[in-house]
Amino acid sequence: MNPLPERLNERLEREERRSRRGGAPPDWLASSTHAPGRDPEVDELVALARRLQATPHLQADPLFAQHLERRLLLRQATVHHPARKKMFIRRWGAHPALRFAFVLCLCLLLVGTSMLEAAAQVSNPENPLYALKRWEQGIQISLPRSPETQAELDLQSARDRLNTLATLASPAHAEAYRYALADFEQQYSTAASAIEDLPAQPDRTRLGKELATLEADARQTLRGFLLQLAVPERLSTTDALGRLGDTIPHLLSVQIILPAQPNGRASINIAGDNVQQGAQLLVNNLVIGGQGSFQIGTYVFTIPWSGDEHPQSIGILNPDGTAAQTTAITLQGANGNGNGNGGNTQGAHGNGNHGKKPTATPTPHHPGPASSQGSAIIVPSRPLVIASALPHRRFPQQEASLAVNAAHTHGSEP
Amino acid sequence: MEAINRLLDRARRGESEALSILYRQFLPGIFGYIAARVPDRATAEDLTSEVFLKMVEGIGRLRASDEASFAAWLLQIARITVAGYYRQREHLPTLVSLEPGLWEEEAFEKREALLASHPDLDPAQSAEIHDEWNTVVNAINALTEEQRQVLIGRLILGYDVATVARMLGKTANAVKALQFRALGSLQRVLAKQDGSEQASHLQTRHRGGTP
């Protein structure tokens, strides 16, 4: 005999089938008496189940059912619009090719956005993302917009580039610093032109004030960098300061008075503006020891001279970090004979016409002020090299200067 | 009849017709489950409405694709709704009004209607019917949740053992055992309450001097 739960289930299923067929329940279900040969325990449970099924308490009122159905449909009308959209997206996404394209686009969008975001934070021009940042800024700037907006954008861009410089002000990033400095100057100049071209309106006045503020900030910032930089970058920065209207040193002429005998002491007389007391001598961009002194409007250094020295540029390094140099050098023997080589006079690299201190720039073939001081040309019996003080390293501008000097030297030989 | 998975799919897409079919199919089971657990019809109707409104709101997110899973989901909502109802009642202060309350009024109206439709019933009989139902509710509330769900699945929704087993995540034999124990417990509780009511009835009669 089957266990009770099994027997109960069989009986319930039989009753269920009977009721589906529309058959009346047997009398023993309705009464408490049991049919002969039946299972009384199971009968009682089946009867209880039938009573539960039939009780009106567990059956919903038809009016309530209708009313609730209407409420549900109303509710569904407000709730299910978003679900339809989701189903559309799900169906669309179910197509393999479309799904792949969608995922690919999403990935590209994600990667592109992340890269642009990362690039926007980059301030180091050596970083590969810097090019992306420049491109992004270029796109922004080139978009058509009103002149006021364009000028504002140019100004902001110049300020961004100034901020970029702060991360590069060290000898370790010399090249990047020079590039960023040039970049800043170019953007500053663009912003200044854009503001200048604005019609006379309040915007122009306001942006003009902002430009002046940027100029003052830039001067202060660049001055702050000077002492952290190597000599070539100091020269560039001094030059930039000059263009920003700052007071910078400027060399007019350099005269080297050679000693009468080899291994004697040469005198280097530097004429110029804003050369400060305590300035150091620069020969070929390198600091040479020894203090100079002012003597009748010129700054005079006396340095050991072996006779092998070959100076292409002479400059000074002020105590405040500003620097200036020139290639307009006049050599003069102790007997009064001179050799003016012409060249550039500059606060930094370039054409020697920086800031508010214009100067004549002599060339090898057209001697300028430096070489036009009435000195006789002397031809040293051997090349001039400052053997003890100068290392063999040459900077790019030295290479150019060397070429000029070589041409000049050869051209003036008898 | 349309397969339940297609119906569910259409309901998820927001088709009213599919939602109506689902509602009509599952209303007896859900109402039966709730009505078996709360003392009066009005509360049962309120809670049933709440369950189906939640169904409308949640069906878009439902992943169930067969009848058993859908029924289990609905019964789960119903269980939580009933539990919430009892939790709220615990926190409500008991107020005794001198005016007849809504439930009392409703009960009175129902008794009047019952008497009108069944003139052979006297008021004492109708009160007994109401009290009897409270006894049944108490007995059903004394069952375990699984036992209740087996009874609803088997007796009200008319599912076979295999479907109820899928609904509860149990084996067919376990469902048969739960069904047997549920009906057995219900019978015992009802018999006990019947006995004590009869005893109290007899005591009242004895005190009142009725032979």
Within chain B, which residue ranges are assigned CATH 1.10.10.10?
A: 142-211
Q: Which residue from B minimizes the CA distance to A8?
A: B180
Q: What is the distance of C-alpha A383 from the center of its chain?
A: 46
Please give the biggest Cα pair distance in chain A: 154
pLDDT-derived band at B1, boundaries 50, 70, 90: low
Q: How far is A110 from chain B (nearest CA, A)?
A: 27
Q: Say whether B180 and A8 touch across the interface (CB within 8 A).
A: yes
Residues of B in contact with A94 (CB under 8 A): none
- What are B89's two structure tokens? 């009642």
Q: Say whether B155 and A9 touch across the interface (CB within 8 A).
A: no
pLDDT digits (tens, 9 = 90+) for B12-48: 888 889 999 999 999 999 999 998 888 888 999 999 9
Are A337 and A232 in contact, with CB atoms under 8 Å apart? no
Q: Say whether B176 and A6 touch across the interface (CB within 8 A).
A: yes
Residue B52 in this model has a pLDDT that exceeds 50: yes
Q: Which residue from A minimizes the CA distance to B49?
A: A68
Report yes or no for ipTM above 0.90: no
Q: How far is A111 from chain B (nearest CA, A)?
A: 30
Task: Please state which CATH number belongs to domain B1-92.
Answer: 1.10.1740.10
Q: Say whether A45 and B184 touch across the interface (CB within 8 A).
A: yes
Residues of B near A (CB-CB distance < 8 A)?
A: 12-14, 16, 19-20, 23-24, 27-28, 31-32, 35-36, 41, 45, 48-49, 52-53, 55-57, 59-60, 133, 136, 151, 154-156, 158, 160-161, 173, 176-177, 179-180, 183-184, 186-187, 190
Q: Say whether A71 and B187 touch across the interface (CB within 8 A).
A: no
Residue of B180, B181, B190, B194 to mutate, interface with A, max A Cβ within 10 Å: B180
Within chain B, which residue ranges are assigned CATH 1.10.1740.10?
A: 1-92
For A333, phi then psi, to 5°, come to -75, 165
> How many angstroms separate the Cα of A400 from the Cα of each of A75, A193, A196?
85, 32, 37
Q: Say whether B161 and A45 touch across the interface (CB within 8 A).
A: no
pLDDT at A91: 62
> How many angstroms separate the Cα of B171 from the Cα of each of A133, A246, B145, B146, B165?
65, 92, 16, 13, 5
How far apart (Å, rounded) are the C-alpha atoms in residues B170 and B155? Answer: 18
Q: Which domains does chain A have, with CATH numbers?
A: 4-49 (no CATH), 144-229 (no CATH), 246-411 (2.60.40.10)
Q: Which residue from A minimizes the CA distance to B174?
A: A5
Helix (H) or strand (E) holding A299: strand A298-305
Question: Which amino acid, one-letter code, is at B183?
Answer: L
For A408, phi then psi, to 5°, come to -65, -45
Q: Say whether A84 and B45 touch across the interface (CB within 8 A).
A: no
Classify residue B208 by its DSSP letter: T
The partner residue sitting opposite B56, judged by closest CB among A59, A65, A79, is A79
CB pairs under 8 A between A and B: 111
Residues of A in contact with B156 (CB under 8 A): 53, 58
Q: Say whether A57 and B41 touch across the interface (CB within 8 A).
A: yes
Q: Which residue from B minimizes the CA distance to A64?
A: B45
pLDDT at B106: 54
The partner residue sitting opposite A73, judged by closest CB among B16, B161, B184, is B16
Strand order across the beta sheet in which A329-332 lies: A293-295, A298-305, A264-273, A250-257, A329-332, A338-340
Residues of A in contact with B161 (CB under 8 A): 9
Q: Say whether A9 and B179 touch across the interface (CB within 8 A).
A: yes
The partner residue sitting opposite B27, judged by closest CB among A49, A60, A83, is A60
For B3, other C-beta atoms within 10 Å of its C-beta total 11
pLDDT at A380: 37
- The more confidently predicted of residues B83 and A306 is B83
Residue B102 in this model has a pLDDT that exceeds 70: no
Per-residue pLDDT of chain A (414 residues; tens, 9 = 90+): 678 888 888 888 888 787 766 655 555 444 444 454 567 888 888 888 888 888 888 888 999 999 999 999 888 888 765 555 555 566 665 677 777 888 888 888 988 888 877 777 666 666 777 777 777 777 776 766 778 888 888 888 888 888 888 888 888 888 888 888 998 998 899 889 888 888 877 878 888 889 999 999 999 999 998 888 988 899 999 999 999 999 999 888 888 888 887 778 888 889 888 888 888 898 888 888 767 888 777 889 888 887 777 788 889 999 899 999 888 888 887 665 555 554 555 554 434 333 333 333 333 333 333 333 333 333 333 333 333 333 333 333 433 333 334 333 333 333
Q: Say whether B35 and A57 touch across the interface (CB within 8 A).
A: yes
How far apart (Å, rounded) are the C-alpha atoms in residues B158 and B151? Answer: 9
The partner residue sitting opposite A71, judged by closest CB among B36, B49, B160, is B49
Task: Please state which CATH number belongs to domain B142-211.
Answer: 1.10.10.10
Q: Quickly tell me which residue has 């408490």 as its tokens.
A: A32
Q: How far is A170 from chain B (nearest CA, A)?
A: 60
3-state DSSP assignment of residue A327: coil
Cβ neighbours of residue B180 closer than 8 Å, sequence gap 6 or more? A4, A5, A8, A9, A45
* Percentage of chain B exceeding pLDDT 70: 71
Q: How far is A146 from chain B (nearest CA, A)?
A: 49
Q: Say whether A75 and B186 touch across the interface (CB within 8 A).
A: no
Listing DSSP states for A2-53 in one string gives: --HHHHHHHHHHHHHHHHHHTPPPPHHHHSSS--TTS-HHHHHHHHHHHHHH
pTM above threshold 0.95: no
Residue B54 in this model has a pLDDT that exceeds 90: yes
Residue of A19, A20, A21, A52 to mutate, interface with B, max B Cβ within 10 Å: A52
Q: Say whether A83 and B14 touch across the interface (CB within 8 A).
A: yes
**Nearest partner of B136 among B197, B88, B57, judged by Cα:** B197
What beta strand segments (E) does A117-263 contain? 250-257
pLDDT at B123: 54
